[in-house]
Amino acid sequence: MANQQALWKKPGLSIGLTLVVVMLIGAGIGALLLTQNHPDQPIAFPHSLHVGLGAQCTYCHSSAPWGSSAGLPTTDKCWGCHQQITKKSPQLDKLAKYAQNNEAIPWIPVAIQPDHIHFNHQAHLSLGIDCETCHGNVAQMQVAEPQNGKNMGWCLGCHKKLAPTQFTRLSDCALCHY
């Protein structure tokens, strides 16, 4: 009877497993890089200008105080202010076109959580936590950017720092993963 070679020593299997591992690592790195860049928006929205003029985050992201999602501004919300501005710019022309065609602006969300995570803006805003705590100093950003390092460890660290006596409840997995 021929001496059989161990399964893990077969060259075809070794090469195949190596390729699978390399592809998984490449996919992970690619996904990480793609999620850390801000997407091109349909209208270049200068957050720094609007915040500098006194607009509050919750004016444009109006569902944050009462809902789980902060929401994105509607065409009507933007056009309600900008129809009164006579200054012409390519960006305002784009907004006018969306408004005239009664179309929603196809904003691309920047702060996206995976499907298995449920973040509730209402709970955080009701405690007086500023938007900048998680989203960075948007007043200094021309374009909203995803913030690096916002992961489960970061959230748990914040929960422990802000409410150490309630940390057992605030570290319960079911609080965010449901």
Stronger pLDDT, 150 or 78, i.e. the higher one: 78
Per residue in 31-57, pLDDT (tens digit) is 656 555 667 889 988 889 999 899 999
The distance from CA 111 to its chain's CA centroid, rounded to whole angstroms, is: 1
Per residue in 103-129, pLDDT (tens digit) is 999 998 888 888 888 888 988 998 899
Q: Is the pTM of this model over 0.95?
A: no
pLDDT at 33: 60
Torsion angle of the four alpha carbons 29, 31, 34, 39, in this order, in degrees rounded to the nearest 10:
-170
Instruction: Please state, in angstroms and as integers, the Cα–Cα distance from residue 153 to each residue in 21, 25, 43, 150, 168, following that order.
Output: 26, 22, 34, 8, 15
Average pLDDT, integer, range 78-106? 91
